[in-house]
Structure 1
Amino acid sequence: MVACNNFASSKMKILNKNMKILAFAGSNSKKSINKELLNYTLNQIENAEIDLVDINDFEMPIYSIDRQLENGFPQEAQDFYNKIKDAEGVVISLAEHNGNFSVALKNILDWVSRIEMPYLKDKKLLLLSTSPGAYGGGNVMEVATKYFGMFASGEIVASTTFPSFNDNFQNNEIVNEELKNKVLAQVSIFQEALTSVES
């Protein structure tokens, strides 16, 4: 286990460098509950080198084809793309805005998809989502499953929604045993999928 208390930390190493994992929350809020859930989840992953990024560091002009043709790709788009290419696995905790990705995340994905599509080919994914409500970000999870799995060609090996965050997560811990076991089970599936690639 490794402490993931500082979300802004760009890279953390866990034991051996067996697996390279890119991790980010789909929110640009400083008080994002998805960042909290992501940090907890990353603390459960062993034998990996985790590149934990904040999407605020990849803020770019809203994508448009005219802007791309006139100015090319922003450096932030290329940097994010490179991080994806360097990873074997990707962990994303999805914030739900009006039933979809946050604008901040969607814009990054729009830019990256113009560099290469599908950009997640051969990548193993663990998808998380949470919200204050009982559906736990279920709408954005449905969107993400189709987008990341079909259009971006990632292999979603594990996923889970986490409902009623404020009731079930306190002091950096999951206090609902059923939900805790659910998250840990998905982490285990994700790790096993990555380990099978390494072996």
Structure 2
Amino acid sequence: MKILAFAGSNSEESINKKLVTSVAKSFNNDNVEILDLNDFEMPIYKNEREKTTGIPKLAYDFAEKIDESDLLLISLAEHNGAYSTAFKNIFDWVSRIPGRHHFGDKPTFLMATSPGKMGGSTVLNIAANRLPFNGAKVIDIFSLPFFFEFFNSETGEIINEDKAVELKAKVEKIKNELAV
């Protein structure tokens, strides 16, 4: 099984990238590729730009990464209650590829984390409701609040026992459903 993992953030110190990287390690018997959205930076989408220059090759490259995968692990950064601009821009460009269901009808595990008590739950709820319309088959969601208290960045592990148990159960459920 090929797994594609990425954080919906372009921060070089992204806590969501730390989370998704940690979760990806739970699928240690599989082929996991972790993407960095910085490798897919494109001009901000606008209709006129698409008409004059077309869809950037990086949008096709990102879509190809999705198409080559069997499972998506996405941890979304929450910026002012919604997606980060970096994620939304890639999402917008990929949506313009003719005949494409953005997320390729792939099983998707959505996650979010933040330093506060909400754990990115606002963006997670937006994504869980929106992304299925765009070809993400959301099989579960996970929110990690209080990132700096609940996650050990040196070991890459969740140190809050309740959240660690919750995540482990969700990962096992996904593995069982997909026969990983």
Contact persistence 2:151–2:160 (CA under 8 A): yes
1:195 is displaced (CA, Å) by 1.9
Matched, 1:45 2:45: no
**Which of these residues, 143, 146, 149, is aligned with residue 164 of structure 1?**
146
In 2: Cα distance, 1:122 partner to 1:67 partner: 28
Q: Which runs of 5+ in 1 are unaligned?
A: 1-18
Between 102-111 and 60-69, the greater mean CA deviation after superposition: 60-69
In 1: Cα distance, 2:12 partner to 2:72 partner: 21
Between 151-160 and 59-68, the greater mean CA deviation after superposition: 151-160
In structure 1, the partner of 2:178 is 194
In structure 1, the partner of 2:169 is 185
In structure 2, the partner of 1:112 is 94
Aligned length: 177
The share of aligned pairs that are identical, in percent, is: 42
In 2: Cα distance, 1:22 partner to 1:48 partner: 10
* 1:40-189 equivalences in 2 (<5 Å): 40-115=22-97, 116-149=99-132, 151-170=133-152, 171=154, 172-189=156-173
1:173 is displaced (CA, Å) by 1.7
Contact persistence 2:91–2:102 (CA under 8 A): no
Runs of 4+ residues over 4 Å off in structure 1? none
Q: Secondary structure at the match of 2:33?
A: strand
| TM-score (structure 2 length as normaliser) | 0.93
1:46 is displaced (CA, Å) by 3.3
| TM-score (structure 1 length as normaliser) | 0.85
Q: Secondary structure at the match of 2:125?
A: helix
The root-mean-square deviation of aligned C-alpha atoms, in Å, is 1.3
Between 103-112 and 119-128, the greater mean CA deviation after superposition: 119-128
1:121 is displaced (CA, Å) by 4.1
Contact persistence 1:95–1:129 (CA under 8 A): yes
